[in-house]
Amino acid sequence: MVQREQELQLPVCEKATVIHIRLSQLNLQPSIPATGKFEALRALSIACFDFTKLDVERVVSLQCPRLQKLALEPIHYQNFVKATTKLPGCKTLRIILLSQHHEFASIVLHLLRICDGIRRLDIQLLGSEHKVSFSDCPCGLSENKSSEGIILNSLEEVNISYFRKYKDAVNLLRALLRWKFIPRRVSIHASPLVGSLSVETCKKIASFSHCDTRVEFHGWLNGSYGRHVYM
């Protein structure tokens, strides 16, 4: 018998500085009062919830005036993409990709379109295999396949971490740079499971960047582990 989802009423904690909410396997949905403010709140993390049933923009913009860090881990992956039309303004957008099957270029495009004032973009590829190109994946909404309307004038830094295949970093960076922004720095961190970088791979990735962009590779290169810089 399927249990009906119930709301978990959250009190307004005016003095709380950090709040973590994880509702896995509890069949609960967080409900935040429409009035009152979390005056001291600096960090808010909500996991395992239905994003379509929580007005995150209202909560963050109106009720958390001092919020500095927001972490969301919604369930119903496809619903999250379709229903999210705006996110609170932020300086850093961190996208952690855990799925081994979904192609995520559409997701990145969509999030950048609705959060285009960011200064730093972090992408972590934690799944064992990701595909950068678009496909018939339900996450690949047609309107998300175009970079039209994306303005990245404020973006200064791009970090790509934990990729296991060099072609993933190459394809992802190529997709990012077609938006014609000029970040000051692009930093690429290989997974410890990846073997030594080749000079040819580094040069190929760096060639996609503007001449004023500093491209850094963190990993093994010619038997030496560390940071390798290309301009």
Residue with tokens 């009152």: 36
- What residue type is assigned to position 111 of the chain? L
> pLDDT tens string for the chain (231 positions)?
345 567 777 888 889 999 988 876 566 777 777 788 899 999 988 887 776 666 777 777 788 888 888 887 766 666 666 667 767 778 888 887 765 545 566 777 777 877 777 889 898 877 645 444 444 444 444 444 455 556 677 888 988 887 666 666 667 777 776 666 678 888 888 777 666 777 787 787 788 777 888 888 887 776 677 777 776
Give the residues across from 7 on adjacent strands: 29
Q: In the sheet that 69-75 helps form, which strands lie side by side, from edge to edge? A: 18-22, 43-50, 69-75
**At a CB cut-off of 8 Å and minimum separation 6, what does 117 contact?**
89, 90, 154
**At a CB cut-off of 8 Å and minimum separation 6, what does 169 contact?**
160, 163, 188, 190, 205
DSSP string, 59-117: HHHHH-TT--EEEEEEESHHHHHHH-------SEEEEEE--SS-B-HHHHHHHHHHSTT
